[in-house]
Structure 1
Amino acid sequence: MKLIDTIKAAFQGADGGQQITTSDDLEAAIRAANVGSAAGMPVNANTAMRVSTVFACVRLISGAVANLPLHIKERVDSETRIDRTDHQLWTVLRRRPNAWQTPSQFRRMMQAHLLLRGNAFAMIARSGSKVLGLIPLDPDRMKVTQLDNLRLSYEYTRRDGGVTRLTQDEVMHLVGLTLDGVNGVSVITYARESLGLSMAQEQHGSNTFKNAARPSMVLLHPKKLGKEGQENLRASLDAYRQGGDQEGKALILEEGMESKPLSMTAEDAQWIEGRKFSRTDIAMFFGVPPHMIGDTEKSTSWGSGIEQQSIGFVTYTLEDHLTTWEETINRDLIPEENVYSRFNRKALVRGDIKTRQGFYVSMLQWGVLSPNEVRKLEDENPRDGGDVYYDPPNTAGGQGESNDDQEPTRD
């Protein structure tokens, strides 16, 4: 759909879009439309997901947020923390956020909204102070306004064209990178040129291989060729270029015609290198190391190897998103001061048995964890006598005899 058609449809309220009555509505419609890039490709959140690099980055980050265990904990004192499995929010976040989604589906979708639009919204269903459910809302239909008292107001356009107004207490609002403190910045907006270039390169490659990966040619005729002759010649050439039964056969030209190919070599276009650069450039916007989306050619760009790149991803990218979720849940969903949400980051190494083994051995040796706590982390039942904490090795004050009880050494 062209931009003018999109605006006309918005004026008419077509496709459930918000009717345009003010300049702000017009600006929102233009932002939601297929705004083109310098490469001539329409770029928005939906078209961007057709780029393999964007899809891989969104899938990777959203999957990590969706699959990490999310706990509700209570701070008993400065040193003691306990799990609050009896808390109503534990059921919402760990069992049933709403009537149709699983917890991982809900978090995955909300995180995808956050990555592609810069914002993610969910309406909070409450009974008194208890949260009963979270209803995800389309960020393209939401308008956020900061009132004079600095509170936020939300206007959500329903599918029937009506508007539902919500207060700040009724909305869970995840915000990414923000420049005004209210609305998050969309990656798609600032990566528009890189995405447009990548889509243009992909379309160029598709068109090239559609024509059997052969460039077009120029045919020179010694005389004037009529319109009917041009159509017949073009049809025969198109059939020849498409391969099939004609593959490998010679091209026969009549009436003294000559052919001259219009060749564009790989050195001229640098098409493959351009594709690689676009892939790395887009991954940079999302903070994903290239090797995690299949680009292993430059595996040391984030550190001294693949392992360091993975550590960098967890530290500098994933940690940012996990903290956003935790702080938003604490602000919008938990009224108690000593209750808070916390992702179990140790689950990130669940697939690496060697790393888990080394971690457990170290924690047991230094008395940080008991055997039963290790078994709990591995989803195993406790064993008898497994609640003991071992004394750290090579330290004074152990269970052995002290030096004062030993006989002095005689020469």
Structure 2
Amino acid sequence: MNIETDTATLNDESFLEWVGIKRDSESKKPTSDVTYFTCLKMMSETVAKMPWKLYQKTNKGISEPIDNDIARLMKQRPNPFMTPTTFWNAVEMNRNHYGNAYVYVRRKFKRKKYGGEYKALDMWIMPSDRVQIIVDDKGIFAGKGKIWYLYSDEYSGEQYIFRTEDVLHFKTSHCLNGIVGLPVQYILKQTVEGVIESQRFLNSLYKNGLTAKAVLEYTGELNEDAVTKLRQTFERFGAGSQNTGKILPVPLGMKLTPLDIKLTDSQFIELKKYSALQIAAAFGIKPNQINDYEKSSYSNSEMQQLSFYVDTMLFVLKQYEEEVNYKLLSDDETEDGLYFKMNEKVLLRTDSKTQMEILKEGINNGIETVNEARRKLDLMDMEGGDTLIVNGTYVPLTKVGAAYDKAEEQDTEENSDSDNPINEPNTEGGENTDQDEQEQETAETNEPDTDQEGGEDDGEENELHKKKSNEKND
């Protein structure tokens, strides 16, 4: 480009090369690799689709989600320009790509009758490459050993310093000092660069119409200019996708021999797939999530989704919840039992049939009410649906085993009766003493009077004796 006569825009190739910027530098970024980009997309969208809810712990358990100013800030509008989905998607994208994500919480002091408190107004994402962490080990700002965040605005050039209480800092799991996280692109730099170069090689093959390099054989001596002109002539007719399928003229005495380089011989596909699995493993992404079903199938994808939640996302969600609960909620709110929680159930959604079976089991076993189940299906509440219902044969937990206790008492009474029968007198003076005495008196009353009967017999004998004596005298 002749800078004295020619004009060019800021995007012209000539101008970019003149100032030392090459257009192909964009293709060397990690995000140009499809596996790296897919992992970033998967992680960020997973975090973004989980809504935030504010709960409260009470003596009776955990209450329903609370709706107040800070809850609306988290689940409706973090700032006037972003929805919660786009906001948390950008936060997670920064965390994975740069190793750290920073969110500035703008607060305003709200006066009360006695004192006051700082109220969160909105939240703003600070690009991670524009933030510098400062550890004040000399006490220059306010307090020795505190952490401050220095943000440089890329548009105005101004710098701002924020307290650690006003910045939500999310970092990757690879964190050696506990303060700054390291990105995956730094840890797997060589692997990512190798994948990018393999894609550039494949793009070059496509650009050349899948034509490999060739050797041009000729007889005679040619100077450098002649060789260059000859090479350019053959490239004009044979190179590039626009010449695919065309006939290449070869002058007499020359021979064009292509170099037979096969991708299968160099195991290009296998190496590319292996590198993709390495990058995915560094992010905690399962093979099926990057469309690799070689060792998995659709039938076990649900278990892999559960494994992704437990092995990968559980750490991320726990970090988010801990940081938000510590820096967004006041001490009084924390003492009252308030806490934020991400709804991880959106990751474990099943098919309609399985979902209905789960709801049915919960209702029949008294775990949840009918209206609670209907809310999960986005249905309206029904009258009488807030009462827990169970099978009529069920008993309260406090009375479990009462029937067995009654049976044991009856067995004990029967054994006691067999040891002490009613008809046998109790010589030890037990409960049957009065009954035995009564039976004995009754027996004595019914017994005949022996003295009276004996007198009557003697009178009859005397009369018979007198009668016989009179008969003899006659």
Cα distance change, pair 50–77 in 1 and its aligned pair in 2 (3 A):
farther
Cα distance change, pair 176–257 in 1 and its aligned pair in 2 (3 A):
same
Instruction: Give 3-state SS (helix, strand or coil) of 1:321's partner.
Output: helix
Aligned to 1:185: 182
Cα separation, 1, equivalents of 2:84 and 2:246? 59
Q: Please tell me whether the aligned partners of residues 103 and 168 of structure 2 are also in contact (alpha carbons under 8 angstroms).
A: yes
Amino acid at match of 1:98: N
Q: Does 1:168 align with 2:164?
A: yes
Q: Does 1:314 align with 2:338?
A: no
Instruction: State the Cα distance separating 1:345 from its structure 2 match.
Output: 1.7
Greater Cα offset, 227-236 or 159-168: 227-236
Aligned to 2:90: 109
Cα distance change, pair 245–43 in 1 and its aligned pair in 2 (3 A):
closer
Cα separation, 1, equivalents of 2:187 and 2:194? 13
Structural mapping, 1:81-120, within 5 Å: 81-85=63-67, 87-120=68-101
Instruction: Give 3-state SS (helix, strand or coil) of 2:222's partner.
Output: coil
Q: Deviations over 1:253-305 (max 9, x none)?
A: 224112222222224322111111111111011100011121112327xx994
Instruction: State the Cα distance separating 1:243 from its structure 2 match.
Output: 6.3
Q: Does 1:330 align with 2:325?
A: yes
Q: Does 1:270 align with 2:267?
A: yes
Q: Please tell me whether the aligned partners of residues 89 and 131 of structure 1 are also in contact (alpha carbons under 8 angstroms).
A: yes
Greater Cα offset, 262-271 or 369-378: 262-271
Aligned to 2:61: 79
Instruction: Give 3-state SS (helix, strand or coil) of 1:49's partner.
Output: helix
Q: Deviations over 1:59-89 (max 9, x none)?
A: 111111111121011112362323211x211
How many equivalent pairs are there?
Answer: 362
Aligned to 2:47: 65
Greater Cα offset, 184-193 or 246-255: 246-255
Cα separation, 1, equivalents of 2:145 and 2:359? 48
Cα separation, 2, equivalents of 1:191 and 1:111? 19
Cα distance change, pair 243–155 in 1 and its aligned pair in 2 (3 A):
closer
Aligned to 2:248: 251
Amino acid at match of 1:140: D
Cα separation, 2, equivalents of 1:171 and 1:122? 5
Greater Cα offset, 153-162 or 203-212: 153-162
Instruction: State the Cα distance separating 1:184 from its structure 2 match.
Output: 1.3
Cα separation, 2, equivalents of 1:244 and 1:122? 48
Cα separation, 2, equivalents of 1:215 and 1:366? 70
Cα separation, 1, equivalents of 2:391 and 2:280? 44
Aligned to 2:376: 377
Cα distance change, pair 396–91 in 1 and its aligned pair in 2 (3 A):
closer
Q: Does 1:204 align with 2:201?
A: yes
Q: 2:132 aligns with which of 123, 136, 143?
A: 143
Instruction: Give 3-state SS (helix, strand or coil) of 1:195's partner.
Output: helix
Aligned to 1:133: 122
Q: Does 1:48 align with 2:26?
A: no
Q: Please tell me whether the aligned partners of residues 57 and 288 of structure 1 are also in contact (alpha carbons under 8 angstroms).
A: yes
Please report the RMSD computed on the Cα atoms of aligned residues, expressed in angstroms.
Answer: 3.0
Cα distance change, pair 189–251 in 1 and its aligned pair in 2 (3 A):
same
Instruction: State the Cα distance separating 1:214 from its structure 2 match.
Output: 1.3
Instruction: Give 3-state SS (helix, strand or coil) of 1:254's partner.
Output: coil
Amino acid at match of 1:80: I
Instruction: Give 3-state SS (helix, strand or coil) of 2:265's partner.
Output: helix
Instruction: Give 3-state SS (helix, strand or coil) of 1:83's partner.
Output: coil
Cα separation, 1, equivalents of 2:275 and 2:289? 15
Unaligned 5+ residue runs, structure 1? 1-33, 35-40, 406-411
Instruction: Give 3-state SS (helix, strand or coil) of 2:29's partner.
Output: helix
Instruction: Give 3-state SS (helix, strand or coil) of 1:123's partner.
Output: strand
Cα distance change, pair 168–376 in 1 and its aligned pair in 2 (3 A):
same
Cα separation, 1, equivalents of 2:32 and 2:185? 13
Instruction: State the Cα distance separating 1:403 from its structure 2 match.
Output: 6.8
Aligned to 1:154: 149
Q: Please tell me whether the aligned partners of residues 364 and 391 of structure 2 are also in contact (alpha carbons under 8 angstroms).
A: yes
Cα distance change, pair 205–243 in 1 and its aligned pair in 2 (3 A):
closer
Calculate the TM-score normalised by the size of structure 1. Answer: 0.80
Residue identity (%) = 25
Greater Cα offset, 202-211 or 351-360: 351-360
Cα distance change, pair 290–52 in 1 and its aligned pair in 2 (3 A):
same
Q: Please tell me whether the aligned partners of residues 212 and 241 of structure 1 are also in contact (alpha carbons under 8 angstroms).
A: no
Amino acid at match of 1:195: V
Aligned to 2:354: 355
Instruction: State the Cα distance separating 1:246 from its structure 2 match.
Output: 5.0
Cα distance change, pair 234–351 in 1 and its aligned pair in 2 (3 A):
farther
Aligned to 1:11: none
Q: Please tell me whether the aligned partners of residues 206 and 241 of structure 2 are also in contact (alpha carbons under 8 angstroms).
A: no
Cα distance change, pair 249–162 in 1 and its aligned pair in 2 (3 A):
closer
Amino acid at match of 2:338: V
Unaligned 5+ residue runs, structure 2? 1-20, 110-117, 138-143, 407-474
Cα distance change, pair 356–204 in 1 and its aligned pair in 2 (3 A):
same
Q: Please tell me whether the aligned partners of residues 146 and 182 of structure 1 are also in contact (alpha carbons under 8 angstroms).
A: no
Amino acid at match of 1:175: K
